[in-house]
Amino acid sequence: MLAFERVSKVFEKPQRIKALEDVSLTLRRGITIGLVGESGCGKSTLARIGVGLLTPSSGRVLLEGRDIQKMQPRERFLFHRRVQIVFQNPLRALNPLLPIRESLLEGVRLHRLLDDKGEKRWIRELLEWTELDPEILPRFPHELSGGQIQRVVIARVLSLQPDFLIADEPTSALDPSLQSSILRLLENWQKKRGMGLLLITHDFAVVRAMAQEVAVMEKGRIVEYGPTEKIFAEPEHPYTEKLLRDSLLPFGLMVK
């Protein structure tokens, strides 16, 4: 279990901003939680805190009950393997000077998970899983399309076989057809490995298709939380209603 326990975050520079206030959320393996909210509501800050890139001003992040701030370096290093993140923007998501092969293997090498033969095998498997052509391996990021880069980024992260993945708007910058293939990728991987997924998005359709539970965030606070179908059928908080309306989706009309 990866838990956010009453996490708050206040930024001092350049101005005093209360990004998160008293957020509690528990991510369990095998489950997808959708986190929805408008831009700037603090979702990305929460994501970064979840993987240890930022420290909360108050509150804790717990992995299997252990506070990550209090972990010893070794334990903390392992934490970084078990909890991973995918960011939104495919630009500069990869080191422009490294060929794709190197970027893909970075995590594996950092944690010394495989030997040379293992690496070769793993790369092949990874490429198959993410539907990437092996011919991109010697290429550089600037030669790839946005969709390919995002796939590489995901492959890179998944190569650590994390137990929990926080995906921060992984497909917002992509076209609909690409979006579906990447989301399916995440979903399949989750089913295969029993990964817990925190899917941060502003697209309700995505949430409905992928998440079992939904958390609605407004200005740094979680205003509603519950099973997906309930949230769609009987939203309680007015902000949730507003978001549902704004989504322009025809509800009750899931054409299969």
Partner 1 sequence: MSLLTVDALSVSFRMPSGTVKAVREVSFAVGENEVVGILGESGCGKSVLLTALVRLLPSNALVSGKVFLRGEELLTLSERKMERLRGKKVGFVPQNPGTSLNPLLRIGSQITEAISTSLRRSHKRAQAMVSLQQFGFGEPWVIFRAYPHMLSGGMQQRVLVVAGIINQPRLVMVDEPTKGLDPSLRARVVEVFQEVARLPNTALLCVSHDYLVLQRLAHRVMVMYAGELVEIGSTKEVFHTPLHPYTVSLLWALPERGMRPIPGTSPSLSNLPSGCSFHPRCFQARSSCSVDHPSLQRISPGRWVRCPYARF
Partner 2 sequence: MMITGLVLLVVIGGASLLAPFLSPFDPLEVRLNNRFAPPFQRPHLLGTDALGRDVLSRLLYGGRLSLLLAVLSTLITLSVGMLLGMLAGYFGGWVDGVVSFVVNTFLGIPDVVFTLALLGVLRPGFGTLLLALNAGSWVGLARVARGEVLFLRESGFVEGARAMGAGAWYCLLKHILPNLFPTMGVLGSLRFGGFVLELAALSYLGIGVQPPFPDWAVMLNDARPYLFTHPHLFIFPALIITVVILGANCLGEGLRDALDVRFQRGIGES
Chain contacts with partner 2 (rule: CB under 8 A): 51-53, 76-77, 79-81, 84-85, 87, 89-97, 103, 106-107, 110-111, 140, 142, 145-146, 153, 156-157, 160
Exposed/middle/buried for residue 19 (C-beta within 10 Å: 0-12, 13-18, 19+): buried
**Ramachandran sector of residue 238 (left: φ over 0; alpha: ψ -120 to 50; beta: rest):** alpha
Contact between 156 and partner 1 by CB under 8 A: the answer reads no
Nearest one of 58, 55, 54, 52 to 24, comparing CA atoms: 58
Contact between 91 and partner 1 by CB under 8 A: the answer reads no
Minimum distance between the CB of residue 212 and partner 1, rounded to whole angstroms?
A: 15
Q: How far apart are CA 110 and CA 112, in angstroms?
A: 5
Among 139, 209, 212, 226, binds partner 1 (CB under 8 A): 209
Residues 187-206, one symbol each (x = binds partner 1 by CB under 8 A, - = not), give ---------------xxxxx
Minimum distance between the CB of residue 220 and partner 1, rounded to whole angstroms?
A: 16
Q: For partner 1, which is the closer residue by CB, 65 or 248?
A: 248
Contact between 72 and partner 1 by CB under 8 A: the answer reads no
- List helix spans (H) across the chain: 43-50, 73-82, 100-110, 116-129, 146-158, 176-193, 204-210, 228-233, 238-246
Binds 58, which of partner 2, partner 1, none (CB < 5 to 8 A, cut-off by type)?
A: none
253 token code pair: 């009309």
Cβ 33 vs Cβ 197: under 8 Å: yes
Which of 8-16, 57-65, 139-147, 159-167 is the region at the interface with partner 1 (rule: CB under 8 A)? 139-147
Angle 116-117-122 from CA coordinates, rounded to 5°: 100
Residues of this chain that bind partner 1 (CB under 8 A): 38-40, 145-147, 172-173, 175-181, 183-184, 202-206, 208-210, 242-243, 245-249, 253-256
